[in-house]
Amino acid sequence: MDLQDTQLMGLLARADSTVAGLSDLLSGLISEFARRNHTLYLVGGSVRDALLGRLGNDLDFTTDARPQVVHEILDSWAETTWDTGIEFGTVSAVYKGQQIEITTFRADLYDGDSRNPEVTFGNTLDDDLIRRDFKVNAMAIELRADGTREFFDPMEGLKDLQAGIMDTPDAPELSFRDDPLRMLRAARFVSQLQFGVSDRVRQAMTDMAEEIRRITVERIQVEMDKMILGVAPWDGIDLLVETGLAQIIFPEIPAMAMEPDEHAQHKDVYAHSLTVLRQAMEQEEDGPDLVLRWAALLHDIGKPDTRDVTDGKVSFHQHEIVGAKLARRRMRQLKYPKATTQEVSELVRLHMRFHGFGEGQWTDSAVRRYVNDAGELLPRLHKLVRADCTTRNERKARRLQRTYDHLEERIEEIQEKEGIAAIRPDLDGNEIMEILDLKPGPEVGQAWAYMKDLRLELGPLERDEAIAKLRQWWESKK
């Protein structure tokens, strides 16, 4: 047996051991399918993940049993069952914390116009597996009532998994025409699994990029997020850029790959942004942070529109303001939640604020305004600004990090003294109305804004001084 065969046997042994660990949990389910003379297979991503030693709490199965039979079995076995996908042959359930999804063999037909197939239930496992997106997701393990298991791999997905390659069971042109979303799934798996794609898949993605327009923006957004939350999102992004898919779904990203001017060299903004993404991820503390990752990738998307060359020097004046608008517009078009769109665009807008001050030039007022403007995004802003330092000049890098260390120390110092995390005016709205004898209206809001600005500029005031400042401001308006 050569080394490759030994490695394959090792992968199979790991998967078998992983699945064997589920025997007690699934024994009742397996027995019920067998009692009704139906087969049950662990399938797709669940088999792939078992081989990779990363099986989670979501298990996918396929069976020759029709959906109504599956529903009856799950109803009698699981704690919770739902059938929202039953028209597509899928019934889902939860049992002892494990999410179960069972789909009847499919042999679908596509019309080439939409990604929604004419659902046709199949009779064989092979027919079901060949319709799947990639070979590494076209493997199955039969679970039998006697405790034995059998591995099925008609598309040779195990070899692709061992080689770290994504390839389609059928010709990629057919697969992507059936469902163009599979092109984005390729980029997602590249990010999640750190696999490459076969030459024919890459070529088909390039040739068929326009087909992605058949997919709804909501589905695109979901796949993009899964890619961004992977372990190597820069690889997935690169694949989308190189194949032209990014130009269609998020053109601001490939636009950052600007050609440096012959006489005015500047950093490759696209490569820099991928580095910032990587460095931002290194600072994550509680798992993947979607907002931070998107902000890191998009922080400089305003540079192509603001690039200027004067006296041989390149500048990108106010690129953060332009970038925030571009990020907000694109994320709205992709139907992102309002909160996510707002947080990402705000981080893009604020990421240059730190660079407006040199070391030791942060006044108390500037520190208060920095904290106030960032609000709840301050921890993410800290990470983004630190990640944005990608210079190869070690002396400059140390200076920037030291300067930001100093800023964080100033924030902590003033926070302890003044409580600036949630700055509010020294006088609230009711007090302002009483002091100035005002009724609710826009003038109260103007007065509140003035007092808030005063609080940021001067810090906390004694009550008598705050009242005097308010009255002085009010008199100046008459």
The CB-based long-range contact list for 391-399 (8 Å cut-off, 24+ gap) reads 399/359
Q: What does 393-408 look like in DSSP terms, one character per residue?
A: -HHHHHHHHHHHHHHH
Report the alpha-carbon distance of residue 43 to residue 13 in Å, rounded: 17
Predicted confidence (pLDDT) per residue in 405-426, tens digit: 888 888 887 777 666 555 666 6
- Bridge partners of 98? 95
- Write down the CATH number for the domain with range 3-163: 3.30.460.10
Q: Can you give the pTM of this predicted structure?
A: 0.83
Phi, psi of 142, deg, nearest 5:
-75, 135
- β-strands 58-63, 40-43: how paired? antiparallel
Phi, psi of 111, deg, nearest 5:
-95, -5
Report the alpha-carbon distance of residue 54 to residue 474 in Å, rounded: 65
**CB of 322 within 8 A of CB of 302?**
yes
Predicted confidence (pLDDT) per residue in 117-168, tens digit: 667 888 899 999 998 999 999 999 999 999 999 999 999 999 999 999 999 9
Predicted confidence (pLDDT) per residue in 185-227, tens digit: 999 999 999 999 999 999 999 999 999 999 999 999 999 999 9
CA dihedral of 113, 119, 125, 131, whole degrees rounded to 10: 10
**CB of 136 within 8 A of CB of 160?**
yes
- Bridge partners of 197? 166
Among residues 159, 152, 149, which one has the least CA distance to residue 16?
149
Report the alpha-carbon distance of residue 1 to residue 264 in Å, rounded: 59
Task: pLDDT band for 359, please (50, 70, 90 cuts).
Answer: low
**CB of 277 within 8 A of CB of 295?**
no
Report the alpha-carbon distance of residue 295 to residue 305 in Å, rounded: 18
Q: What are the residue boundaries of the structural domains of the chain, listed by start?
A: 3-163, 288-423, 424-476
